[in-house]
Structure 1
Amino acid sequence: MNGTDAAAAAAAADLAAHRAGVTVTQLHGLDEMLAACKVLDRVWRPVPGNPLITPELLRVFAHSGSYVVGVHQDGRMVGFCLGFLATAGLHSHIAGVDDSVRGRNVGFAVKLHQRAWALARGITAVTWTFDPLISRNAYFNLAKLGAAPSEYLADFYGAMQDEVNAGTETDRLMVRWELTGRHAVGSAAGTPHIVTVDEAGAHAVVGLDAKPDGRPAVGRRDGDTVLVRIPTEIETVRRTDPPLAREWRYALREVLGGLMAEGHTVTGFTRDGWYVIDKRQERQA
């Protein structure tokens, strides 16, 4: 990593924020931390008395040099992200944006700001977790950003009481974003890491698919490439058919979690909802 990398990252971050119509800035004052916690409350809707994080703790994170930023539009905070230093570099713990700015590439602007912030401090990798059953998040993290899955974590947080996670086991996929790697550089330049099922080749097998009734169907795992499907809208399924959502959770844990535990590499996620696992590559620790 050199000064040119950091400068290019900063320029890409500024352009992404401009296109999204927001500003992304570090937070310092206690009033800003209170506003950030209100953003998290609007996004996750935790039960009263059980906040995701407190303003006082955010103040400590910010004062000690962690990544604590707010996203503003027209003077109002509409997004927030917290990251802290970890063994791998920077671990991005939580991020969220208001519904009012969803679908406007605000999350992308935040991640490019995070990348620029890290590179300016000599940090070349960022890790974070996400729910591997949520298709739009899988595409954003693996395709649009070019991060690479490193570990499947079963029920990582245990039972959670916010409206987003209540009633579901909290499996998470840990990803690692190599900030100077070709996928991250391509992402910053507007070129996502695209993979398709057609590219999987003749020796691809389907490890998990959907039956006609929407239930998961566990298949084969003996090909060079294994394709693993997830539902397009699992969040809707959770509300309308919780038992079916749990079936998908356990099936994905068995297939994707099992393949990753064996050391196989997730090479991407397709636009139409397939994880692509290459059994000819070993996952890098």
Structure 2
Amino acid sequence: MNAAQAAAATAAAALAAERAGVTIRELHGLDEMREACRVLDRIWRPDPGNPMITPELLRVFAHCGSYVVGVERGGRMTGFCLGFLASAGLHSHIAGVDDSVRGRKAGFALKQHQRAWSLARSITTVTWTFDPLIGRNAYFNLAKLGATPSEYLADFYGAMRDEVNAGTETDRLMVRWELTDEHAVGSAAGTPHIVTVDGAGDRTVVALDAGPDGSPVVGRQDGDTVLVRIPAEAEELRRTDPSLAREWRYALREVLGGLMAEGHTVTGFTRDGWYVIDRRQESQP
């Protein structure tokens, strides 16, 4: 990493914020921390007795040099992100924007700001977790940003009591965002990391797909490239058919989690809901 890379990242972050119509800045005062917690409450709707985080703890994180950032639009805080130093570099613990800016590319602008902030401090890797059943998040993280899954974590947070996660086991994918590699640089320039099923190659097999009734069907894993399907609307499925949603959770844990535990690489996520896994290293002499 050099000064030119950091400067380019700062310029890309400023452009992303301008296009999204938001201002992104570090937070310091206790009143700002209280507002940030209210933003988190709007997004995740936690049990009042079990807050996502407290203003006092955010104040400590900010004072100690962590990444504590608010997203503002029209003078109102509409998003928030907390990241702290970890063994890999920066771990982005929680990030979100509320409904008023969702779909306006504010989340992308926030991650570009995080990338620029990190590179300015000679941090070249950012990690975070997300629910592997949520397709829009998978596409955002793997395609739009160019991050790479590094570990499948079964029921990582245990039972959670916010409205977003209540009633489901909290499996997560840990991802690594290598800030100076070609995918991250391309992302900052507006070129996502696109993979398609059509481009997967001749020796491609389907390890997990949806059956005629919408239930998960486990298939083969013996190809050079392995495809793993997730349902289109997993969040809606949790509300309408919790039993089927759990079936998908356990099937994805078995198949995707199993492939990753064996050391196979997730190379991307397609727009239409497939994880693409590379197993070609096994066929090399």
Scaled by the length of structure 2, the TM-score of the pair is: 0.98
Q: Which amino acid aligns with 1:33?
A: M
Residue 271 of structure 2: aligned partner: 271
Residue 206 of structure 2: aligned partner: 206
Per-residue CA deviation, residues 169-227 of structure 1 (Å, 9 max, x unaligned), is 00000000000000000000000000000111110000000011111001011111100
Matches within 5 A, 1:132-147: 132-147=132-147
Q: Which amino acid aligns with 1:25?
A: R
* 2:94 is the counterpart of 1:91: no
Distance (whole Å) between structure 1 residues aligned to residue 60 and residue 232 of structure 2: 39
Q: CA deviation at 1:116?
A: 0.1
Residue 74 of structure 1: aligned partner: 74
* 2:232 is the counterpart of 1:232: yes
Distance (whole Å) between structure 1 residues aligned to residue 71 and residue 158 of structure 2: 29
Residue 101 of structure 1: aligned partner: 101
Residue 35 of structure 1: aligned partner: 35
Residue 244 of structure 1: aligned partner: 244
Distance (whole Å) between structure 1 residues aligned to residue 197 and residue 31 of structure 2: 48
Distance (whole Å) between structure 2 residues aligned to residue 50 and residue 155 of structure 1: 18
Distance (whole Å) between structure 1 residues aligned to residue 210 and residue 49 of structure 2: 39
Distance (whole Å) between structure 2 residues aligned to residue 260 and residue 49 of structure 1: 36
3-state SS of 1:43 partner: helix
Distance (whole Å) between structure 2 residues aligned to residue 34 and residue 263 of structure 1: 42
Residue 150 of structure 1: aligned partner: 150
Distance 1:44 1:172, change over 3 A: same
Per-residue CA deviation, residues 28-86 of structure 1 (Å, 9 max, x unaligned), is 00000000000000000001111010000000000000000000001100000000000
Distance (whole Å) between structure 2 residues aligned to residue 21 and residue 79 of structure 1: 13
Residue 44 of structure 1: aligned partner: 44
Per-residue CA deviation, residues 234-263 of structure 1 (Å, 9 max, x unaligned), is 000000000000000000000000000000
Q: Which amino acid aligns with 2:182?
A: R
3-state SS of 2:174 partner: strand
Residue 116 of structure 1: aligned partner: 116
User: RMSD of the alignment, in Å?
Assistant: 0.7
The total of aligned residue pairs comes to 282
Whether the aligned pair in 2 keeps the contact of 1:265 and 1:281 (CA below 8 Å) is no
Distance (whole Å) between structure 2 residues aligned to residue 37 and residue 64 of structure 1: 19
Distance (whole Å) between structure 1 residues aligned to residue 69 and residue 63 of structure 2: 12
Distance (whole Å) between structure 2 residues aligned to residue 33 and residue 23 of structure 1: 17
Distance (whole Å) between structure 1 residues aligned to residue 271 and residue 78 of structure 2: 27
Distance (whole Å) between structure 1 residues aligned to residue 87 and residue 126 of structure 2: 10
Per-residue CA deviation, residues 75-108 of structure 1 (Å, 9 max, x unaligned), is 1000000000000000000001111111110000
Which residues of structure 1 form unaligned runs of 5+? none
Per-residue CA deviation, residues 135-190 of structure 1 (Å, 9 max, x unaligned), is 00000000000000000000000000000000000000000000000000000000
3-state SS of 2:94 partner: strand
* 2:192 is the counterpart of 1:196: no
3-state SS of 2:280 partner: strand
Q: Which amino acid aligns with 1:194?
A: I
Q: CA deviation at 1:281?
A: 4.3
Matches within 5 A, 1:245-264: 245-264=245-264
Residue 223 of structure 2: aligned partner: 223
3-state SS of 1:152 partner: strand
Distance (whole Å) between structure 2 residues aligned to residue 84 and residue 168 of structure 1: 27
Q: CA deviation at 1:280?
A: 1.9
Scaled by the length of structure 1, the TM-score of the pair is: 0.98
Which residues of structure 2 form unaligned runs of 5+? none
